[in-house]
Amino acid sequence: MAINGSTELIAELKSLSDLFESKQPQEVLATALERYAPKIVLACSFGAEDVALLDMVHRINPSVPLFYLDTDFLFPETYATRDRIIQHYDLKPSQVLQVKSLLTPERQAEQHGEALWSKEPDRCCQLRKVEPLTRLLNGFDAWITGIRRDQAPSRANAGLIEWDQKFERVKVNPLARWSWADVWTYIRVYEVPYNPLHDQNYPSIGCIHCTAPVAPGDDPRAGRWKNFTKTECGLHKS
């Protein structure tokens, strides 16, 4: 039976989240995995936060699956990072869930016009990220994300664990309190494989069409949807 966001559950998650404010991400993860495995999945775009989280999850429960939203527009470096991660952690194919749009890029162009991302990025993200994620999450009660409060104003109030109204699932954000520097300290200490684009001024890595490098000192997400006011792909806003 699907989990439901009753008032009691939402209040319980809020109390748990408040308790987690003084805990390390690994403790948040351990509790979430204990409660929700095997109906919990890690969202992984193979960016810095996600690979750090993957390493933590793997040390606690190596059977937890991850998924990635394969928009068909990912960088070659992102696919290569995926392959290195699979090898490094010896992940089984059943643990790495590739989630794709119902529309091929060609079909999308026929139905919605060429280069939709350059005209209506919200619609493109809806077709290539939000709908596929909704479909994937139907099989789970909870998902783990790498969002951090200091990434964007829209993420400033993220709980360590919370009810996700949009996808009607429990959402676990173990790194909510961490800084960018904390993430990199973890990656260096534990020698976690990471996307080499991070070393080429790409702090935030999404689709090829909507990701540009940033200048030193710029907002780390300034390279996403550069010519639009858009700041989120729609996965982390209600």
Catalytic residue annotation? 233
Please pick, from the candidates 5, 14, 73, 103, the single residue that binds ligand SF4 as defined by CB under 6 A: 73
Buried b (16+ CB within 10 A) or exposed e, 30-47: bbbbeebbeebbbbbbbb
- Selected range binding ligand SF4 among 52-60, 81-89, 135-143, 204-212, rule: CB under 6 A: 204-212
Reference 36, options 168, 167, 169, 147; nearest CA is 169
Please pick, from the candidates 65, 146, 206, 223, the single residue that binds ligand SF4 as defined by CB under 6 A: 206
Instruction: Phi first, then psi: give them for residue 42, nearest 5 degrees.
Output: -95, 125
Residue with tokens 């996307």: 195
Q: How far is the CB of 109 from ligand SF4 (least distance, A)?
A: 12
Total number of residues binding ligand SF4 (CB under 6 A)?
13
Please pick, from the candidates 25, 47, 65, 121, the single residue that binds ligand SF4 as defined by CB under 6 A: 121
Contact between 207 and ligand SF4 by CB under 6 A: the answer reads: yes
Question: What does the alpha-carbon distance between residue 214 and residue 234 come to, in Å, rounded to a whole number?
Answer: 22
Q: How far is the CB of 209 from ligand SF4 (least distance, A)?
A: 4
Three-class secondary structure of residue 23 per DSSP: coil
> Cα 155 vs. chain centroid, distance in angstroms?
13
Contact between 184 and ligand SF4 by CB under 6 A: the answer reads: no
Strands (E), the chain: 40-43, 66-70, 96-100, 142-144, 161-164, 169-172
Contact between 124 and ligand SF4 by CB under 6 A: the answer reads: yes
Q: How far is the CB of 116 from ligand SF4 (least distance, A)?
A: 7
User: Which CB, 28 or 207, lies closer to ligand SF4?
Assistant: 207
Contacts with ligand SF4, residue ranges (CB under 6 A): 71, 73, 117, 121, 124-125, 128-129, 206-207, 209-210, 233
